[in-house]
Amino acid sequence: MILEPTILQDSTAVSTAYDSVWAGQSVPTQAPTGIESVMLAHDKLFVVLSVALIIWFGLMFVTLRTDRHLEKVERSLESNISDTD
């Protein structure tokens, strides 16, 4: 259902559908400033993505290394328990 704009008799307010108000608005554009211009000028998006990937790989590495260490500790605890029995 599309609502047409109606002008009220008593005031200057215009009643329209919510999405048509936003669709009619123009998006303000500004020239990029500071770090934005640097990031956009030299395709720094790939740098940001690569840094994010390095962080994820680092987290995976630490998690796997910690898992290996915990397995080693669990094996030593199991061997100590079986030796005392």
Q: In sequence order, what DSSP letters do the residues of 11-32 get, joined into one string? A: SS-EE--HHHHHHHSPPP----
More confident residue, 19 or 45: 45
Quick check: helix, strand or coil at residue 32?
Answer: coil
pLDDT at position 5 over 70: no
Strongest mean pLDDT among 49-53, 64-68, 73-77? 64-68
pLDDT for 73 equals 95
The percentage of the chain sitting over the pLDDT mark of 90, rounded to a whole number, equals: 32
Q: In this structure, are residues 31 and 41 in contact, taking their beta carbons and an 8 Å threshold?
A: no
Q: In this structure, are residues 12 and 21 in contact, taking their beta carbons and an 8 Å threshold?
A: no
pTM exceeds 0.95, yes or no? no
Separation between Cα atoms, residue 53 and residue 59, nearest integer Å: 10
Query: Looking at this protein, which amino acid is placed at residue 78?
Result: E
Task: Give 4's DSSP letter.
Answer: P
**What average pLDDT does the segment 40-45 reach?**
73
pLDDT for 82 equals 83
Q: Per the structure block, which two tokens stand in for 52?
A: 């994010």
